[in-house]
Amino acid sequence: MIYEMFDVYVDLIRLPRLVRWVGIRIEKLFMRLANAVIIANEAQEKELGGIPNNNVYVIYNTPPDLFERPPVRKHATFTLFYAGVLYRSRPSNLDKVFQAIRDIEGVQLIIAGYGDLATEIKQWVNQNEGKVKFIGKISYDEVLKETMASDLLFALYDTSVPGVRYATCNKLFEAMMCHKPIIVSEGTAMAEIVRRENCGLVVDPSSVQEIKKAIMRLKEDPELYYQLGANGRVAFEKKYSRKIMEQRLLTVYEKIGQGQDIN
């Protein structure tokens, strides 16, 4: 039996300490009984306060490799792209990104997704012609196409939600795969990867000024923009690609099937 954990579910919202403690103990019970544990990133072990299993494997949720060639910025508009669920209960600081770009000439924000924020986003579109584009719910294939066509990605989730601090969302690896830089929240597992691989910028997600400064820096410095994207692409190929993750998963299955320890 392999116990695979994408998220620590009790950390997806703020819960009373006792409720969280009980939830973590249930997770650890199943982990202790399993032959192996698969987690989505290294930070989750810290989030749980340790994992009671000798066979723990990290398999990142990375996208298929659709990359063809480095991006060439020929269009005048510098495009930011965000795809995801749009719920107030999962603060993504889209409003702060919108405020940051309002007075930056030649910058557009494209948003895809669904949720109770959609109505407010449509108001941004109507009140600020050309600055915001809302394309609604799209398939994952379309998300990757929009990512390829955009200039910059961001993942600026509210770090007051416990799970956000330890998560590595798809956007990080999609940006790496697509040779694009990304802006992420300070104090997160994603920020650690971005700094380690030098593939983007880290900001306080609650600060409109920091977000604006980071966007302008990448827009106005093509050399930095290209280098950060290139660093992410190299890291993706060497450490995070879907091919590497597939082989790692097969190795887990093979060794467990043969009764071997993974480590």
**Counts for the chain of helices (H) and strands (E), in that order:** 11, 9
Task: Indicate the number of domains in the chain.
Answer: 2
Q: Give residue-wise pLDDT tens across range 141-195.
A: 999 999 999 999 999 998 887 778 888 889 999 999 999 999 999 999 999 999 9
Q: Domain range spanning residue 125? A: 78-238
- Same domain membership, residue 40 and residue 138: no
70 within domain boundaries: no
- Same domain membership, residue 106 and residue 13: no
Q: Tell me how far apart the alpha carbons of residues 129 and 212 are, in angstroms, rounded to a whole number.
A: 19
pTM: 0.89
- Same domain membership, residue 174 and residue 156: yes
Q: Give residue-wise pLDDT tens across range 102-125.
A: 989 999 999 999 999 999 999 999
